[in-house]
Amino acid sequence: MVRQLTRARGNLMTAIKFTKDDKLWMRQALELAQHAASLEEVPVGAVLVRDGILLGEGWNAPISSCDASHHAEIAAIRAANRSINNYRLPGSTLYVTLEPCTMCFGALIHARVERVFYATEEQRAGVLVSQLQLANTDFYNHQIQVAGGLLADESAALLRQFFRSRRVSNRIASE
C-alpha cells in the first residue's frame, strides 16, 4: 500500500510504501486499541519505535485514569521518555490507530518525534489531514513527517464496532 508522506516547510509530498515492519508495529497498536475497548475506553492504541526497538506504548484511558490527557499517543510518549530517560525522541516513529488530535500533535512536536503513521482519519478532530493539517504548517520549530492509511480498515472497523455497541447499551439503559 502506498500513502503520502507529508513533510512541512514547503509541503513536500512523496509517496512511501509501508513496510512489513510498519504493518507489524501498527498491528501491535491495534492490539492496544482492542485493550482500550475492553476497558470501555475509545479504542485507540499507539506504539513509539526507534531503530526497530519499541520505546513506549499506550492506549486511550481518560475515563479510567480520570485524566483528560490520557490519550494513547501521550501514554506512549510518556513511556518512551521514561524508557530512554529523555524528554526528546528524535528519530522515532509513532504508529497510532487514529489520526491524532491537537493536544497529541503538540506533544509529538515537543518530543521531537520524526514520523507519525496513523491508521484511520478522525474526521471531527484529526489535525494531520482531516481538519487543520498542522504537519503542513511552517510555524513550528520541529517538523513531523506524516503518512496515513496503514491498516485503516481494521482500525475503522474496531471504532465502528465500539461506538455501535455503546449506542446499543445507551438505548437499552434508557428504556
Catalytic residue IDs: 73
Burial of 51 (0-12, 13-18, 19+ CB in 10 A): exposed
> What number of other Cβ atoms are within 10 A of residue 135's Cβ?
23
The cell for 51 is 531503530
- DSSP strands (E only) in 51-149: 53-59, 93-98, 115-120, 145-148
